[in-house]
Amino acid sequence: MGNPPAYSQPISPRAPMWLTPEEQAAGINRELKVAAHRFLCPVCGKEFSLFQSRAVACKYCPQANKNCPNVRCPYCDSEFPLSGFVVPDKQDAVHMNQYADNVFNNFGDTYNRR
């Protein structure tokens, strides 16, 4: 099957990353870029992001917002370690878990106001 495309390689929010002026003006940061970055599922071959995984595949899992060390494909339900799949190491996995948990735990307060 060969190597996955470069865009599907783990990335670190600590790595140098270009943010366009438009992205910066919209409040996009490195963590958001990593969480929205798409990866290929090694089982089914479909693309998904950390946000997609947590919002769809992990939606009803009690571990989803408790620093779960895994990421789950929303298409085939296969699970992979966050470290080495989305991010390169455990330090980045902890950082991204905290970021994603914070986004989902505060989503209603942030975006559902009328």
Give Cβ neighbours of residue 14 (< 8 Å, ≥ 6 apart).
30, 92, 95
In a domain, 1, yes or no: no
As for how many domains the chain has, the answer is: 1
In a domain, 10, yes or no: no
In a domain, 61, yes or no: yes
In a domain, 4, yes or no: no
pLDDT in tens, 2-61: 565 566 788 899 988 889 999 999 989 999 999 999 989 999 999 999 989 988 888 888
In a domain, 43, yes or no: yes
Q: Which domain holds residue 47?
A: 26-111
In a domain, 9, yes or no: no
pLDDT in tens, 100-114: 888 877 765 555 555
In a domain, 40, yes or no: yes
In a domain, 63, yes or no: yes
